[in-house]
């Protein structure tokens, strides 16, 4: 891809990110789950926006799990366990400008299957 196309894709994702972020807010009892998807790995964190702190996080790179649907389900399963240990059962999902499709959808569905209410 040319640089012009890549810049356009970045701008469109940034617009989606701002649009999504404008309508959600995380508090300690119901934190915001923000996901980041690189070309190789998947990362997620539970954020309390009121106090500006991260309550729990998961790093697919440290787990050795890549960025595909099967690995996203494994990452979500482990993340759901971490959230349960922190006493969190209900969250707000922030797709971070990514389309709710593929890896992001698999991650969210797996969180639901493991007892986290989105």
3-state secondary structure the chain: CCHHHHHHHHHHHHHHHHHHHCCCCCCCCCCEEEEEECCCCEEEEEEECCCCEEEEEEEHHHHCCCCCHHHHHHHHHHHHHHHHHCCCCECEEECCCCCCCCHHHHHHHHHHHCCCEC
Asked if the structure places residue 41 within a domain, the reply is yes
Cα–Cα dist 69/39, whole Å: 13
pLDDT of residue 78: 96
pLDDT, averaged in runs of 10, over the chain (118 residues): 91 89 85 94 94 93 94 96 94 91 96 94
The number of domains in the chain is 1
Asked if the structure places residue 118 within a domain, the reply is no
Asked if the structure places residue 12 within a domain, the reply is yes
Q: Which domain holds residue 88?
A: 3-113
For residue 84, what is the domain's CATH number?
A: 3.30.420.100
pLDDT of residue 27: 85
Asked if the structure places residue 98 within a domain, the reply is yes
pLDDT of residue 21: 82
Asked if the structure places residue 43 within a domain, the reply is yes
pLDDT of residue 28: 82
pLDDT of residue 23: 82
């Amino acid at each position: 891809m040319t640089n012009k196309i890549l810049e356009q894709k970045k701008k469109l994702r940034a617009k989606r990110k701002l649009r999504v972020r404008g309508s959600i807010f995380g508090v300690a009892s119901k934190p915001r789950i923000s996901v980041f998807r690189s070309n190789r790995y998947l990362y997620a964190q539970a954020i309390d926006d009121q106090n500006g702190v991260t309550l729990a996080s998961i790093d697919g790179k440290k787990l050795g799990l890549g960025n595909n649907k099967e690995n996203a389900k494994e990452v979500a399963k482990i993340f759901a366990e971490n959230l349960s240990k922190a006493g969190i059962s209900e969250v707000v999902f922030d797709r971070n400008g990514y389309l709710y499709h593929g890896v992001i959808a698999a991650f969210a569905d797996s969180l639901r299957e493991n007892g986290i209410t989105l």
